[in-house]
Chain A
């Protein structure tokens, strides 16, 4: 009964209000927190204890794959499947294979950065419960939101609501699932 909603969304009209509220909510023991802002605020991720460094590993993997693909492709073409004597150069003329190897390293790394970011973020995600709150449209404009999800062990529909109100939220709304 108490958990029929997705969570409770508190609204702030400035970044400082949100940042302080997020710090207090985290200090009060809430862990299933999320915040929504119109531009990136690094301090907020720290405030809600969020940390994810997987992307850089994905990009490194992508870059190495590109490197091996680039060199492997040229080696395979010129030393194995289609060997041609060009100006007496060795079949595996590695200095001349560097430009293409370099470009493919960058290409694969860049594509894995974008796809990795989109995939880790769970996008595309056209429907999300927070969009049910009409005022949430302001999150892409000039308002700042703190969400406590109903999955949080400490979540209680009544108490959490009161707690968020005490954090100087300008408005507190239930989020329909």
Chain B
């Protein structure tokens, strides 16, 4: 029998043999070469077709109104809020990777932050569609949501968590966008300098603002980047906290709990990392990026997924415990109804997906086998959607009086809109991969052995 190694040696962050030039060429080639792998076309076509389905569903919604959806009293919040919370949560991993891991000096964030941030932006776009669409008349939503001096002299109600949500989500989107753009500037300059095509030189030249890599610029650039990371960190924690306030501020049994903010944030990061894994695993295989997105990255992401999954599991048990411990019969009934009522199968599927499945990640074998990891991540994605469904629907469908009890099911239009946003997400992501460097080139350069500075003489 082989003796066990005394210490566990993790895989390197970047495969040996890379130089400044080789990482530059490898990452920029995806944007600059006209050839894309077959997987790109397949993904793009599928995504585009599903986006067309979204357009169809949205057009019908605007013509007919929200009556085509399954929402009705007592369940006035259905798929729209479930999907909103799910998508916003997915976005959180991108910001966590780009901002929090930067502050914690985690070198492994470097080759995954760019596409994770792109994922954040597209996920927030998908999320943002639902609050707008559920108004039924999105072009009128402006005066309900934004404080501007309208001719009716009315103003939004700032004591409402729904308005906090508007501010939290729009700030989150804006900050994520500018953070992402700032990170892109030096890489856009690289594309500008590498391309031979005049039109591309002009486009990328303008986008890169004429970046020339001056040490004085880098100095301020690094300061700005660090400050943005410091600002994005409390921001990302606040966003899902505010989303959870949409529920927790209300007095509905199952929603009115103090565990909600931390439990929502953990769930968001949990699902977000699962989604980053869902994207990273096919992406690295498709573009042969295994030497930049190494097993070490996958393993670390799997570990974060496991830890946040355990926090979420704690959240579930705490929810159930306090439901009974509250001695409030409505709270107690809500928990019991969730587990054994008409939606019992959704609840237990969610427990299977979110608590049982991630336990596989205790095994290093699973963490370092991409296809297994992909399967676990997919199950978690489904589980987190079910979690939001359970929170929203099981609390509402049994109102305080049995005469107000009802059932909720999404209609075909609900499903088309939800699946449609998945198509939009896929399309946007594939377009991003095609036109922008999917891995931060300049940050990966800092990982190359050549980048190591020797001690200067006289020091």
Contact = CB atoms under 8 A, between A and B. Distances in A.
B39 interface: no
A59 B178 contact: no
Interface string A43-87: 111001010110110010000000000000110011001101010
B256 interface: no
A135 to B, nearest CB: 11
B326 to A, nearest CB: 23
Contacts of A141: 20-21, 24, 190, 193-194
A172 interface: no
B227 A107 contact: no
Interface string A17-36: 00110010000000000111
Given A15-B450, A93-B159, A110-B179, A117 B220 contact: yes
A121 B154 CA distance: 43
Interface residues of A, number: 69
Contact of A117 (B182, B189, B451): B182
Contacts of B220: 52, 55, 117, 120-121
Given A55-B224, A96-B158, A130 B164 contact: no
A44 B190 contact: no
Nearest to A141: B24
Interface of B: 19-21, 24, 147, 153-159, 161, 163-164, 167-168, 171, 174-175, 178-179, 181-182, 186, 189-190, 192-194, 205-206, 209-224, 227-228, 231-232, 234-235, 238, 242, 245, 442-443, 445-446, 450-451, 453-454, 456-457
Given A39-B443, A140-B193, A107 B174 contact: yes
A167 interface: no
B19 A103 contact: no
B445 A39 contact: yes
Nearest to B458: A23
Contacts, number: 204
A104 B456 contact: no
A88 to B, nearest CB: 12
Given A42-B222, A103-B164, A103-B168, 4 more contacts: A14-B450, A41-B453, A107-B174, A117-B182
Contacts of A137: 193-194
A23 B153 CA distance: 64
Interface of A: 14-16, 19-20, 23, 34-45, 48, 50, 52-53, 55-56, 59, 73-74, 77-78, 81-82, 84, 86, 89, 93, 96-97, 99-100, 102-104, 106-107, 109-111, 113-114, 116-118, 120-121, 123-128, 130-131, 136-142
B198 to A, nearest CB: 14
B176 to A, nearest CB: 10
A113 B212 contact: no
Query: How would you classify the secondary structure of chain A's contact residues: helix, strand, loop or mixed?
Result: helix
Contacts of B214: 34-36, 121
Given A120-B220, A130-B212, A141-B190, A106 B175 contact: yes
A13 to B, nearest CB: 9
B174 A128 contact: no
Contacts of A120: 220
Nearest to A44: B215
Nearest to B442: A39
Contact of B216 (A34, A97, A138): A34
Contact of B212 (A56, A102, A131): A131
B174 A110 contact: yes
Contacts of B158: 74, 77-78, 96-97, 100
B238 A103 contact: yes
A99 B175 contact: no
Given A102-B238, A103-B171, A38 B224 contact: no
Pairs A-B, 3 closest by C-beta atoms:
A142-B20, A117-B224, A99-B164
